[in-house]
Structure 1
Amino acid sequence: MYGKARLAISAYQKVGVDAAVEVADPHRLILLLFSGAQAALGNARAAFRQQQVAARGEALSKAIDIITNGLKVSLDLEQGGEIAERLSALYDYMVMRLLHANLASDPAALEEVSGLLEEIHSAWREISPAAAEQAIA
């Protein structure tokens, strides 16, 4: 019974996220990507504590995917100029640190990336959607 309840909750959450993505403007999509990356890092953090290597790798892979195929590809390097270029390099650095966190079992590297993501996420929350659209594709 408990397993069915978890499946139902998971399905409900997925539908909620899918619905949020369908109606989100570009600014909101970026915010959702940051939240998703932080959630994946939270799962990796829990896996570190519980010494679940496979779960840790899966969660870190999800965070890397969000950073690489979500946040980084959304940058418009032509219109975003130096800021977009610096964010691109920072996203590359974050991916390298997360790979290191997994391979070296280094939770401090995970925490470093989590802090960096939170700083950028916080800045995105402060800017208007119109200003955000100029920085992304």
Structure 2
Amino acid sequence: MSIQAYQNNSVETASPGELTLMLYNGCIKFIKVAKTAMENKEIEKKNTNIQKAQNIIQELMVTMNQEYAVSKEILPLYDYMNRRLMEANVKNDAAILDEVHGMAVEFRDTWKEVILQTRKLQYGQGGNA
């Protein structure tokens, strides 16, 4: 199986929670690539990867379930991250990329914990797993 086929299969068989985790990981990866490109003065590569990170944040915003109260707290943070990425791109500011990277890592790590806790509740309650 090719890497591309494996990746496609991973996405097709992933739960919504795992897909969200993949989005966070992608966002983090694109910010890292953008920062390296910024340091190497590869303007087009920096721009492309910042835009990819922004696209992921926008996807997270659009797909967020508005029924949960926490959504009202998270959406402004996503909006902030998106605006900061735009600012980092225009100002060529690696410190802003670091800031947004840190936020994305926090979201990712929190989401990982949510998935683990959910699995424990689904499969591990009462030792019947």
The yes-or-no answer on 1:84 pairing with 2:71 is yes
Distance in 1 between residues matched to 2:118 and 2:73, nearest whole Å: 17
Q: Secondary structure at the match of 1:128?
A: helix
Matched, 1:29 2:19: yes
Are 1:73 and 2:62 an aligned pair? yes
Larger Rg: 2
TM-score between the two structures when normalised by the length of structure 1: 0.80
Displacement of 1:16 in angstroms is: 2.8
Percent sequence identity is 29
Name the SS for the 2:41 alignment partner: coil
> What's the C-alpha RMSD, in Å, of the aligned pairs?
1.7
**Bigger relative contact order (CA 8 A; separation at least 6):** 1
Is 1:46 the counterpart of 2:46 in the alignment?
no
Count, aligned residues: 118
1:127 counterpart SS class: helix
Once residues 16 and 34 of structure 1 are traced to their aligned partners in structure 2, the CA distance between those partners, rounded to angstroms, is 19
Give ranges in structure 2 of 5+ residues lacking alignment: 120-129
Residue 22 of structure 1: how far off its partner (Å)? 0.1
C-alpha separation in 2, matches of 1:20 and 1:32 = 10
**Is the contact made by 1:27 and 1:129 (CA closer than 8 Å) also made in structure 2?**
no
Q: Structure 1, residues 61-105: CA drift from partner, whole Å, max 9, x if none? A: 000001102x1122111x212x11111110000000000000001
Tell me the TM-score normalized by structure 2.
0.85
Structure 2: how far apart are the matches of 1:93 and 1:122? 19
User: What pairs with 1:48-63 in structure 2 (closer than 5 Å)?
Assistant: 48-63=38-53
